[in-house]
Amino acid sequence: MDFHNDVLTINPATVTEEIVANLRQDVRQTMHRSGAVIGISGGIDSSVVFALCVRAFGPEHILGVMMPEKDSSADSLTLAEKLASQFGVEAVVEDMTNALDGLGCYARRDQAIQRVFPEYDPGTYKARIGIPGSVLETDTLNIFHLTIVAHDGTEKSKRLNLRDYLQIVAASNFKQRSRMTMLYYHAETRNYCVIGTPNKNEHDQGFFVKWGDGGYDIAPIRHLFKTQVYQLADYLDIPDEIRQATPTTDTYSAHSSQEDFFFRLPFQIMDMLWYAKEHGVPAADAAEVMGLSENQVSRAYADFERKNRTTEYLRMPPISYSDRLDNG
């Protein structure tokens, strides 16, 4: 196929019209709802979905829900408030800290962290998990490390064993799942739909929480690469501060970009390579276009395949035994 540096360029006006038309059809005709609820975090994806819904239904039929908790960056709330104000949409703040405390989110997470770093105290340290190293520079597997950060910026990192990794992730996933519950509360009180915000990279590589940020009625940008989401953001006049911010997880108390936490590639490079792999572009051809080595492209292809394969269960619908019985 013809693979070139502009292969991901879209016509944002046309794409916007298509998504807006589908939103109107799906919300009003298919689901018989009268508007949309969107969780807004100050991130580029939720901001673009928010703006698309405003175009589809008008600001009077949209509710933005901001759901900070004690580990959230203060910038997230500030940016989300700016977004809602710019588009003239009602927005509510639901502080999730007490709910998460009641679920044991922080205590269960901290218990696992303290098995790795006995000196860890949430009042003294911040913490994050991530996958060190760029896919382009190393052929290592996706092995998570835990990092704690002292007030003076001093960091300590250790490789996580499976037990501690699973407990930290499972406890942290309370955040996304409790937020999904809050979104559905607001949607049901208004007869609205919950509109999801994942892009193609997040969905296909498994960068979401099942029944958390992966729980929604409609996913209008799930077919778009991050690069293309930014093209829509420019067209939809998303605030500059949001467009210029580094995409983060905003899950852990210590700052962690999406690249550091999971993807291990800048999204501009990742999108091109993911597209090339999906469309069967040989590694050598992709490398020539992008100024990379064939080995680097092959490593990225293998990483995409590994993530897609190991997270397939996240994309599976519930297994119903009645289907097996009906089919004999």
Range 181-206 average pLDDT: 95
Instruction: Determine the distance from the C-alpha atom of residue 211 to the mean position of all C-alpha atoms in its chain, rounded to a whole number.
Output: 13
Residue 117's nearest CA partner among 125, 142, 251, 255 is 125
**Cross-strand bridge partners of residue 37:** 63, 194
- Residue 328 burial (C-beta neighbours within 10 Å; 0-12, 13-18, 19+): exposed
**pLDDT value for 41:** 92
**Cα separations in angstroms, 4 against 1, 152, 291:** 10, 45, 12
What lies within 8 Å, CB to CB, of 97 at 6+ separation is 68, 69, 70
Residue 328 has pLDDT above 60, yes or no: no
**pLDDT value for 132:** 74
Residue 202's nearest CA partner among 91, 285, 315 is 315
In the chain, % of residues over pLDDT 90 = 77
Residue 218's nearest CA partner among 71, 21, 6 is 21
Rounded-to-10 torsion of CA 179, 202, 230, 290: 160
**pLDDT value for 261:** 60
pLDDT band at 327 (very low <50, low <70, confident <90, very high): low
**Cα separations in angstroms, 38 against 192, 195, 212:** 10, 6, 13
Residue 303's nearest CA partner among 143, 129, 169 is 143
Backbone angles phi, psi at 108, to 5 degrees: -65, -40
Q: Average per-residue pLDDT in the chain?
A: 92
pLDDT band at 140 (very low <50, low <70, confident <90, very high): low
- Let me know the angle formed at the C-alpha of 281 by 278 and 287, rounded to the nearest 5 degrees: 115
pLDDT band at 309 (very low <50, low <70, confident <90, very high): very high
Range 167-192 average pLDDT: 97
Write b or e for each residue in 14-32: b if 16 or more Cβ atoms lie within 10 A of its Cβ, otherwise e: ebbeebbeebeebbbeeee
pLDDT band at 134 (very low <50, low <70, confident <90, very high): confident
| pLDDT, tens digit, 9 for 90 and up, residues 64-106 | 999 999 999 889 999 999 999 999 999 999 999 999 999 999 9
| Cβ contact 168:106 at 8 Å | no
- For β-strands 125-130 and 155-159, DSSP reports them as unpaired
**Tally of CB atoms within 10 A around 305:** 11
Domains recognised in the chain with CATH numbers = 12-101+168-315 (3.40.50.620), 102-167 (no CATH)
**More reliable by pLDDT, 70 or 325:** 70
Beta-strand runs (E) in the chain: 36-39, 62-66, 90-93, 125-130, 145-150, 155-159, 193-194
| pLDDT, tens digit, 9 for 90 and up, residues 222-244 | 999 999 999 999 999 999 999 99
**pLDDT value for 249:** 73
One-letter amino acid for residue 317 of the chain: P
What lies within 8 Å, CB to CB, of 167 at 6+ separation is 108, 109, 111, 112
Highest average pLDDT, of 11-25, 238-252, 291-305, comes from 11-25
- Residue 115 burial (C-beta neighbours within 10 Å; 0-12, 13-18, 19+): middle
Q: How far apart are the first and last CA of the chain?
A: 43
